[in-house]
Amino acid sequence: MLFSDPEGGPAETVVTEWRDYPEWHRGRARYGVWLVPLLDPALLGYLREARRQLADLLHPDTERQPHLTVFVCGFEQPARVADDNFSPQQLQAQVGLLQRMRGPAFTLPLGRPDSFASAAFLPVGDPDGRLDGWRRMLGEAASEVRQAAYIPHVTLGLYRRKVDADTVRRRLAQLAPPPLPLRVGQLHYATYDARVLFGPLESRHRLLLEAETDGAG
């Protein structure tokens, strides 16, 4: 459900509480995802300005690096016991599969700012199916942890107060469109501390495009 849909979109924002979520992590420390990091200075500057303009609505996000999530792996554990666990064996299988899909860097189009009920974001297009290809390959080695359909996006921020749909649409319409597409030259496996809301990402593996070699991050 997106606020850009006036008929089926949310009626208001959903507030994220700034707290630890022990009922979610159950004492498990690191949560893993495959992602595309945003590295272009002009695009990073645009994100900072968009967040500044929405600062009264969004939680501050000073540590989590901007990125496009490609595949959600789950909690790193020695063995996959729970559905949201992710084992070292699964990671190594994914890394091996991805090495077969190495290719040139590419760009993805960015749309005007939009919003889920819980978060404002930039839509990311996938006209040539490159993200879909990565996701299918990653899914051969592990089941993704996902509660809703995958929508490629770059998060601007999570809501810290409740506002109505008309206000959200008006505020998003005041933002400029992204100045350039998203250049994709790397795919990272990264983790973050599940006990820290908006904690920093730590890259563990990188798939470098343009025929470069993999390395640990």
Per-residue pLDDT, 210:
77
pTM of the complete model: 0.92
CA pair distance 74, 51, nearest whole angstrom:
27
Per-residue pLDDT, 174:
97
Q: Over 60: is that where the pLDDT of 106 sits?
A: yes
Long-range contacts from 76-80, C-beta under 8 angstroms, 24+ separation: 76/28, 76/29, 76/30, 76/31, 76/32, 76/191, 77/28
Per-residue pLDDT, 108:
98
Confidence of residue 139 (pLDDT cuts 50, 70, 90): very high
CA pair distance 191, 201, nearest whole angstrom:
6
**Residue pLDDT, tens place only, 156-208:** 999 999 999 999 999 999 999 999 999 999 999 999 998 888 889 999 999 99
Which residues, other chains included, contact 98 with Cβ-Cβ below 8 Å and sequence gap of 6+?
Answer: 134, 137, 138, 187, 207
Q: Which domains does the chain have, with CATH numbers?
A: 22-208 (3.90.1140.10)
Per-residue pLDDT, averaged over 100-111, amounts to 90
Which residues, other chains included, contact 27 with Cβ-Cβ below 8 Å and sequence gap of 6+?
Answer: none
Confidence of residue 18 (pLDDT cuts 50, 70, 90): confident
**Residue pLDDT, tens place only, 35-90:** 999 999 999 999 999 999 999 999 987 688 999 999 999 999 988 778 889 999 99
Q: Over 60: is that where the pLDDT of 213 sits?
A: no
Q: Is 15 helix (H, G, I), strand (E, B) or coil?
A: coil
